[in-house]
Amino acid sequence: MAANADNKPRVFSGIQPTGRKTLGNYSGGFRQYAQTQETHDAFFCIVDLHSITVEYDPAELRDSTLDVAAMLFATGLDSERSTVFCQSHVTAHAEAAWLLSAVASYGQLGRMTQFKEKSDRHEFVSAGLFTYPVLMAGDILLYQTDLVPIGDDQRQHLELARDIAERFNYRYGETFRLPDGKFPEVGGRVMDLQDPTSKMSTTLSSEQGAVYLTDTPDTIRKKFKSAVTDSGREVRYDPKEKPGVSNLLEIMNVATGEPIDALEQSFDGAGYGQFKEAVGEAVVTLLAPIQERFEALRGDERELQRLLAVGAEKARRASEPTLEAMYERMGFVNAGPGRLFGAARPRGL
């Protein structure tokens, strides 16, 4: 169905370059990116334009953008197969967001859970925080994306992107492909170790509640040792009754690939102490080679910037036909004799 060079369906996802990335980001993000690049024509975007919608430090943005780039490659993306790039390097993203804001409804944006949560927590609520999901819709739709690997917390934003695409197609003619989400079967919502009823989050979790991908082995062991468990002694998967233990079982599955029921059996009668220690050790083992690759890649900023420049060029070429089609269908006069609308058709149209 997809009409690109390799005839593979297209995958697109984005990740923010804010804060230190967590085990939750690994589960819903990084590991799914590496898996999908095997079967798809893959685009992964460091969404720096999204990161300015809440208070941030400009001096840190640059460093954390390169951190995320290095982490994307360290967790398995191959620069030959996947297009990895910065959102701000491809101006189509900001343009698409503006055009799509004409078909996004104010009411629907106000109902976004993430907006409500974040706006409750900040004194200054930027207009960008409100229109954030429109920028995200543009990211996805510009690439005629088939599949979007994400964690559960992005489900509502993806639904909105589909609604926006449908409304645009209805008003202006068939322009966008409708993307599907890809969510992990286990680990779609990794929870905070100290408060297993809340999501493990880069910005909202406490230092002890979140496991960062760059934490040292000892820190990781300590965090799991002090993880909140539930009453009783049984290692049993039951997210309602036993949110703490269930979260740890999911994390163990993410780290080792062992099915949950096999894990329940092998920790039958073991007690929480031994179980938590084992989960910590599994995460240390998972992250050790990733951290080693991360250090090596992060040490060579010039190479990272070169890879991002190559990615941006590919992303510009891939997104331009769709942006042109959007302008044309919305009735804009084209920019001059050198610029023909529709000179290249969006893929699949």
The yes or no reply on residue 229 touching ligand TYM (CB under 6 A) is no
Rank residues 183 and 341 by Cβ distance to ligand TYM and give the closer one.
183
The yes or no reply on residue 200 touching ligand TYM (CB under 6 A) is yes
- Give CA–CA dist 247/127, Å, rounded: 35
Residue choice 136, 193, 255, 263 for contact with ligand TYM (CB under 6 A): 136
- Give CA–CA dist 308/306, Å, rounded: 5
Residue 45 CB, nearest approach to ligand TYM (Å):
6
Is residue 269 classed exposed, middle or buried when 0-12, 13-18 and 19+ CB atoms within 10 A define those classes?
A: exposed
The yes or no reply on residue 40 touching ligand TYM (CB under 6 A) is no
Query: SS3 of 54, please?
Result: coil
The yes or no reply on residue 154 touching ligand TYM (CB under 6 A) is yes
Residue choice 53, 90, 151, 162 for contact with ligand TYM (CB under 6 A): 151
Count of residues near ligand TYM by CB under 6 A: 26
Q: Are 197 and 243 in contact (CB under 8 A)?
A: yes
Residue choice 99, 150, 164, 284 for contact with ligand TYM (CB under 6 A): 150
State which H helix or E strand residue 6 sits in.
Answer: none
Neighbours of 208 (CB within 10 A): 16
Residue choice 190, 193, 213, 252 for contact with ligand TYM (CB under 6 A): 190
Taking CB under 6 A as the criterion, which residues in 304-323 touch ligand TYM? none
State which H helix or E strand residue 149 sits in.
Answer: strand 147-149
Residue 212 CB, nearest approach to ligand TYM (Å):
12
Full strand arrangement of the beta sheet holding 41-46: 82-86, 41-46, 10-15, 147-149, 180-182
Neighbours of 152 (CB within 10 A): 16
Q: Which stretch binds ligand TYM (CB under 6 A): 56-64, 150-158, 213-221, 339-347?
A: 150-158
The yes or no reply on residue 189 touching ligand TYM (CB under 6 A) is yes
Is residue 76 classed exposed, middle or buried when 0-12, 13-18 and 19+ CB atoms within 10 A define those classes?
A: middle
N-terminal to C-terminal alpha carbon distance within the chain: 11
Please list the residues that pair with 83 across neighbouring strands.
Answer: 43
Cα-only R_g, the chain: 21
Rank residues 157 and 177 by Cβ distance to ligand TYM and give the closer one.
157
Residue 234 CB, nearest approach to ligand TYM (Å):
25
The yes or no reply on residue 164 touching ligand TYM (CB under 6 A) is no
The yes or no reply on residue 50 touching ligand TYM (CB under 6 A) is yes
State which H helix or E strand residue 35 sits in.
Answer: helix 31-36
Taking CB under 6 A as the criterion, which residues in 264-303 touch ligand TYM? none
Residue choice 10, 11, 15, 77 for contact with ligand TYM (CB under 6 A): 15
Which residues contact ligand TYM (rule: CB under 6 A)? 12-16, 24-25, 27-29, 47, 50, 136, 139-140, 148, 150-151, 153-154, 157, 188-190, 199-200
